[in-house]
């Protein structure tokens, strides 16, 4: 247990197979000390298995796990300087809240248990329930007790396994801010597993998007969002408009490729493209796109597609979301800020779409346009 606090995690070439199913496939991961790291992916992508291997609740089939510079591969859960906040909270029903929080400290025969338990409960603003049983608390309170029970041990790594999954949306947003505050306050390294892309982006410094047991892309939330490198990331992290095209012009003086998309010419910065030749997927985020009604012209340096027909208009408070059917290209989504009130374009209108060439990104043409775009509501 002599590992420095906030030590980093290194996962090297880790594979985990259950029978014939490979849950985690040759995974490499490095979590910097003191960071808030999110493992994001759909259910079954291997993120929870990865977390369980780090916690020591599963052993990898191959590869090594290093925590704070110490190789812990093969050691058991109770020997690792790691604590987990479980999705189900897993509070001990036969112990009081205070005894739950004290559990780890008592096992390690630490001193000042009472004071540290009180401090940890204060941190999650539950000092007044120390003598109650977990069953007498609300879901949100239980979640915070589970957090206090982990934080109180000052682990080298704090693992969070979809800890907010069981909470309703409003409480969840509140707890996200709370978790972030606590992480800032205690300065521990947090590794957070979630399938909620918004949660991952709001909370984490670094997000690793996982799919089929591998990491698709890793980086700061804004970087991942602005420049996804795979169709899965483009669709799973926020929404994307992806259209197949072919590179017909090499980079010009401004480093822009010319891509033919359904007969129109679209400009794509070579630096933002995974492939610079042949078939590509041209992508743009819906909020970067604006609608041109007849008579409006694109600005300089803008890509234009269309004309197309508006097939759906939905008002979502801060923005209005349009679906525009572009012949020979596909359906594009457009998010327009409601700066001047509600929708400005009616259902059935014929419009063109424009966006800055600098916001365009390019993916490999071999990818499935719909990868990762599955309905998130289906997630557990």
Partner 1 sequence: MSLLTGLGAGGAVTAAPTRRPPSRAYWWLLLPGLVYLALFFVVPVGALLGTSLYVPVPGGDVGQYQPAFAVGNYADALAQFWPQLVRSFVFAFLATVVTLVVGYPVAYAIAVRARGRPVLQGLLLVLVVAPFFTSFILRTIAWRQILADDGFVVASLQWLHLLPEGARLTATPFAVVCGLAYNFLPFMILPIYASLERLDPRLVEAGADLYASPMTTFRTVTFPLSLPGVVGGTLLVFIPASGDYVNSSLLGNNTNTAMIGQVVDARFFRLLDYPTAASLSVVLMLAILLLVAAYVRRAGTEELL
Among 20, 93, 294, 380, binds partner 1 (CB under 8 A): 93
H or E element that contains 143: helix 139-151
* Phi and psi at residue 296, to the nearest 5°: -85, 145
Q: Give yes or no for residue 18 binding partner 1 (CB under 8 A).
A: no
Please identify which residue in 13, 107, 128, 254 interacts with partner 1, judged by CB under 8 A.
107
DSSP SS3 for 256: strand
Q: Which of 90, 118, 166, 373 binds partner 1 (CB under 8 A)?
A: 90
DSSP-derived pairing of the beta strands 256-261 and 214-219: unpaired
Tokens describing residue 253: 């003086």
Report the C-alpha gap between 321 and 313 in whole angstroms. Answer: 6
Question: Of 87 and 217, which has the nearer Cβ to partner 1?
Answer: 87
Q: How far is the CB of 77 from partner 1 (least distance, A)?
A: 4
56 binds partner 1 (CB under 8 A): yes
The SS3 of residue 142 is helix
Binding of partner 1 by 149 (CB under 8 A): yes
Residue 82 is a binding residue for partner 1 (CB under 8 A): yes
Closest distance of CB 162 from partner 1, Å: 13
Smallest gap from Cβ 108 to partner 1, in A, equals 5
**136 is a site residue for partner 1 (CB under 8 A):** yes
Please provide residue 4's backbone torsions phi and psi, each rounded to the nearest 5 degrees.
-60, 145
Neighbours of 172 (CB within 10 A): 18
Q: Which of 49, 83, 197, 320 binds partner 1 (CB under 8 A)?
A: 83
> At its nearest, how many Å lie between partner 1 and the CB of residue 131?
13
- Min separation Cβ 25 and partner 1, Å: 24
Task: Give dist(CA 274, CA 281) in Å, integer.
Answer: 9
By beta-carbon proximity to partner 1, the closer residue of 99 and 260 is: 99
Q: Which span sits near partner 1 by CB under 8 A: 133-141, 168-176, 187-195, 267-275?
A: 133-141
Contact pick of 76, 128, 254, 347 for partner 1 (by CB under 8 A) = 76
Selected binder of partner 1 within 103, 127, 302, 369 (CB under 8 A): 103
Please give the torsion angle defined by the CA atoms of residues 152, 186, 67 and 196, in that order, rounded to the nearest 10 degrees: 100
Q: Which helix (H) or strand (E) holds 199?
A: helix 197-203
Cβ atoms of residues 263 and 269 within 8 Å: no
How many residues bind partner 1, per CB under 8 A?
Answer: 25
- Least separation, in Å, of the C-beta of 221 and partner 1? 28
In the bound complex, what is the minimum distance in angstroms from residue 6's beta carbon to partner 1? Answer: 18
Choosing from 35, 142, 143, 153, the residue that interacts with partner 1 (CB under 8 A) is 153
Nearest by Cα to 162 from 192, 139, 182: 192
Secondary structure of residue 93 in the 3-state scheme: coil
Q: Give backbone dihedrals phi and psi of 117, rounded to 5 degrees, phi first.
A: -65, -45
| Residue closer to partner 1 (CB basis): 91 or 363 | 91
Assess 111 for contact with partner 1 (CB under 8 A): no
H or E stretch at 367: none
Q: Which structure tokens are listed for 107?
A: 């096992």
Report yes or no: 260 and 246 within 8 Å, Cβ to Cβ. Answer: yes
Residues that bind partner 1 in the complex, under the rule CB under 8 A: 55-57, 76-78, 82-84, 86, 88, 90-94, 103-104, 107-108, 133, 135-136, 149, 153
């Amino acid at each position: 247990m002599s590992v420095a606090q906030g030590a980093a995690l290194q996962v090297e070439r880790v594979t985990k197979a259950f029978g014939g199913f490979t849950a985690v496939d040759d995974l490499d991961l490095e979590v910097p000390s003191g960071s808030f790291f999110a493992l994001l992916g759909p259910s079954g992508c291997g993120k929870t298995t990865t977390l369980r291997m780090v916690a020591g609740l599963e052993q990898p089939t191959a590869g090594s796990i290093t925590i704070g510079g110490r190789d812990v591969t093969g050691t058991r859960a109770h020997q690792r300087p790691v604590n987990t906040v479980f999705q189900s909270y897993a509070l001990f029903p036969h112990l009081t809240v205070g005894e739950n929080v004290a559990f780890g400290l008592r096992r390690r025969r630490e001193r000042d248990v009472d004071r540290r338990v009180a401090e940890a409960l204060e941190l999650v603003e539950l000092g007044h329930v120390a003598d109650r049983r977990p069953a007498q608390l609300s879901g949100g309170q239980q979640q915070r007790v589970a957090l206090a029970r982990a934080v109180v041990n000052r682990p080298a790594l704090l693992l969070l396994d979809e800890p907010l999954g069981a909470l309703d949306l409003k409480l969840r947003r509140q707890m996200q801010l709370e978790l972030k505050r606590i992480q800032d306050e205690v300065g521990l390294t947090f590794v957070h597993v979630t399938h909620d892309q918004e949660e991952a982006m709001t909370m984490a410094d670094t997000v690793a998007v996982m799919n089929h047991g591998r990491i698709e892309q890793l980086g700061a939330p804004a970087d991942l969002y602005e420049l996804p490198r795979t169709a899965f990331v483009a669709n799973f992290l926020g929404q994307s408009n992806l259209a197949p095209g072919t590179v017909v012009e090499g980079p010009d003086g401004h480093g822009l490729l010319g891509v033919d998309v359904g007969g129109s010419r679209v400009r794509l910065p070579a630096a933002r493209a995974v492939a610079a030749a042949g078939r590509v997927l041209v992508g743009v985020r819906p909020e970067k796109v604006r609608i041109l009604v007849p008579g409006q012209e694109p600005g300089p340096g803008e890509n234009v597609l269309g004309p197309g027909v508006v097939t759906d208009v939905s008002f979502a408070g801060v923005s209005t979301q349009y679906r525009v059917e572009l012949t020979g290209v596909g359906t594009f989504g457009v998010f327009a800020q409601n700066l001047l009130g509600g929708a400005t374009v009616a259902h059935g209108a014929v419009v063109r779409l424009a966006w800055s060439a600098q916001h365009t990104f390019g993916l490999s043409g071999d990818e499935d346009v719909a990868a990762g775009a599955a309905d998130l509501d289906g997630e557990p």
